[in-house]
Amino acid sequence: MRNASEYDVYIPLSYNDGTPVDPQKIADLKRQLQDRFGGLTFFPQRTEGHWKVGTVAFRDDIVICRILSEDVRESRAYFLQLKEEMQQAFRQEEVLIVERKVEVL
- pLDDT number for residue 96: 94
Total count of domains within the chain: 1
- pLDDT number for residue 74: 95
- For residue 92, the domain's CATH number is 3.30.70.120
Range of the domain at 6: 2-104
Query: Rounded to 5 degrees, what are φ and ψ at 63?
Result: -125, 165
Higher pLDDT, 23 or 93: 23
Element at 62 (helix H, strand E):
strand 56-69
In tens, the pLDDT along 7-54 reads 999 999 999 888 999 999 999 999 999 999 999 999 999 999 887 878
| pLDDT range class, residue 1, cuts 50, 70, 90 | confident
Specify the amino acid at residue 55: T
Q: To the nearest whole percent, how much of the chain has pLDDT over 90? A: 77
Higher pLDDT, 105 or 42: 42
Higher pLDDT, 99 or 2: 99
Q: Say how far apart CA 39 and CA 9 lie, in whole Å.
A: 14
- pLDDT number for residue 26: 97
